[in-house]
Copies of this chain bind each other. A is one copy, B any other.
């Protein structure tokens, strides 16, 4: 059924060498000949045998990803969404991706083993922490890699794809300030991860410009689950001076936060405003909330796709463009944000 290179070249009256070179874009092939080869490929449906290619080239045609095993990252829905994008792109190019779980202590060893094993020809890391040591390790290993997110401090010349977390929460906070809010709270992701650090920074910058300080008691830094959002919001609402404006690092957190808000008898968008970061999780759309959520949006799945594209590109062609992409987020206003309520009226919760 499936033709192989020998049959294809026999069919064309060419040597395997020439056909192989025509297919792999080598220059020493006549343009006319190349056209004939490509036509024959289309007709026969020839697809190179990946196992043979792997054996001959030593390339694995697969990308590895070392997944930290730590609290809150385990089977995280956000990570799953990112992976979906990555997987889709990988399959399209007949690439595999191998997930390697590793505890932080063994991370470096895992990297080395993976790079040495030849089982993968590019690596990918995520969940960046400030001063993340993994970047230097990877740079020393001379294996292509890409980072989802960015470290804070340390080297800057490494390939990454990240979203503008600082800008996202800066803009969101600005919007809330313009609506008259003065009492803010933040429900953030784990405090060692750089996306969380940057979002907080963005928020504090905007607040600082308005001469406002973010109350440390009105901050939550935790894994991004529904439950954590709920608990944090409950705590905030029972504070001396409850917030009228809340930023959430995920719609999953917002899910719980909104639950707490409703339970307290407050009306979202009137008594309290909330903006969440939306990773475009198909299971949790901000517009499907009872009160549709105002969000800062950037598709996690799209990021996965982009990472895969780049990784695959850097393996297939030996293209040397160490990409650095910083995606802007969109600020989408829905019903969960409104003008700040008159402050004196709040404790009474008048209608």
Chain A residues bordering chain B, tally (CB within 8 A): 49
Taking the complex as formed, is A347 at the interface, i.e. its CB lies under 8 A from any CB of chain B?
no
Report how far A50 CA is from B50 CA in the complex, Å: 11
Q: Is the CB of B99 within 8 A of A2?
A: no
Closest to A223 in B: B283
Q: In the complex, which residues 184-241 of chain A have their Cβ closer than 8 Å to any Cβ of chain B?
A: 225-227, 230
> Taking each of A80, A225, A285, which has the highest tally of chain B beta carbons within 10 Å of its own beta carbon?
A80
Closest to A50 in B: B119
Taking the complex as formed, is A74 at the interface, i.e. its CB lies under 8 A from any CB of chain B?
yes
- With A88-B101, A98-B96, A99-B87 given, is the CB distance from A283 to B116 under 8 Å? no
Q: In the complex, which residues 262-311 of chain A have their Cβ closer than 8 Å to any Cβ of chain B?
A: 262-263, 281-285, 288-290, 301
Q: Is the CB of B2 within 8 A of A116?
A: yes
Report how far A252 CA is from B77 CA in the complex, Å: 12
Report how far A338 CA is from B81 CA in the complex, Å: 37
Taking the complex as formed, is A91 at the interface, i.e. its CB lies under 8 A from any CB of chain B?
yes
Q: Is the CB of B62 within 8 A of A96?
A: yes
Q: Choose one: B49, B84, B101, B226; the contact of A284 (CB below 8 Å).
A: B226
Taking the complex as formed, is A75 at the interface, i.e. its CB lies under 8 A from any CB of chain B?
yes
Q: Which residues of B contact A54 (CB under 8 A)?
A: 50-51, 54
Taking the complex as formed, is A328 at the interface, i.e. its CB lies under 8 A from any CB of chain B?
no
Q: Is the CB of B2 within 8 A of A117?
A: yes
Q: Which residues of B contact A116 (CB under 8 A)?
A: 1-2
Taking the complex as formed, is A136 at the interface, i.e. its CB lies under 8 A from any CB of chain B?
no
Report how far A136 CA is from B101 CA in the complex, Å: 37
Q: Is the CB of A91 within 8 A of B100?
A: yes
Q: Which residues of B contact A81 (CB under 8 A)?
A: 75
Closest to A100 in B: B91
Question: Closest CB of chain B to A58's CB: distance in Å?
Answer: 9
Q: Is the CB of A55 within 8 A of B62?
A: no
Report how far A98 CA is from B90 CA in the complex, Å: 9
Closest to A83 in B: B80
Taking the complex as formed, is A345 at the interface, i.e. its CB lies under 8 A from any CB of chain B?
no
Closest to A88 in B: B101
Closest to A74 in B: B282
Taking the complex as formed, is A246 at the interface, i.e. its CB lies under 8 A from any CB of chain B?
no
Taking the complex as formed, is A259 at the interface, i.e. its CB lies under 8 A from any CB of chain B?
yes
> Can you give 11 contacting A-B residue pairs, CB < 8 Å?
A2-B117, A50-B54, A50-B119, A51-B60, A76-B283, A96-B96, A225-B284, A226-B255, A226-B283, A259-B262, A262-B262
Q: Contacts A1-B116, A50-B54, A227-B285 known; list 6 others, CB within 8 Å.
A: A50-B119, A51-B54, A75-B81, A75-B281, A226-B284, A262-B263
